[in-house]
Amino acid sequence: MSKIIATALWIAALFLLAPEARAYRPSDFHWLPPFLAMEEKPSLTFILDTSSSMLERAYSDPFNAEQEYYGYFDPLALYSYNAESDTQHFFVSI
């Protein structure tokens, strides 16, 4: 019987001596990153193009490995991907 009382006293002491639990409030955080010198309001430009030219395909023929396509990458270069840097990117391998 004394073990039950001792256990109950320990449990009661844990509940009574436990630190106060509280949730974080939004005021506990600051939305501005620390590396910015001054607060700026966010700016966003959203352009939606609904012209008929956006409905056309870039290439109407199926893919042909013998044909050279224009675009962002040079088709004659060998590219590698750097995933270990702070800014992951493709680069031309020499």
Give average pLDDT by consecutive 10-residue segment, the chain, 94 residues: 86 78 72 66 82 79 79 79 80 77
* Distance separating alpha carbons of residues 41 and 32, to the nearest angstrom: 10
pTM above 0.75, yes or no: no
Please tell me the distance from the alpha carbon of residue 38 to that of residue 83, in angstroms, as a whole number.
Answer: 32
Give per-residue pLDDT as tens, 74-93.
778 888 888 887 777 778 87
Report d(CA 67, CA 59) in Å as an integer: 11
Mean of pLDDT over the chain: 78
CB 31 within 8 A of CB 42: no
CA–CA distance, 40 with 18 (Å, rounded to integer): 42
The percentage of the chain sitting over the pLDDT mark of 70, rounded to a whole number, equals: 83
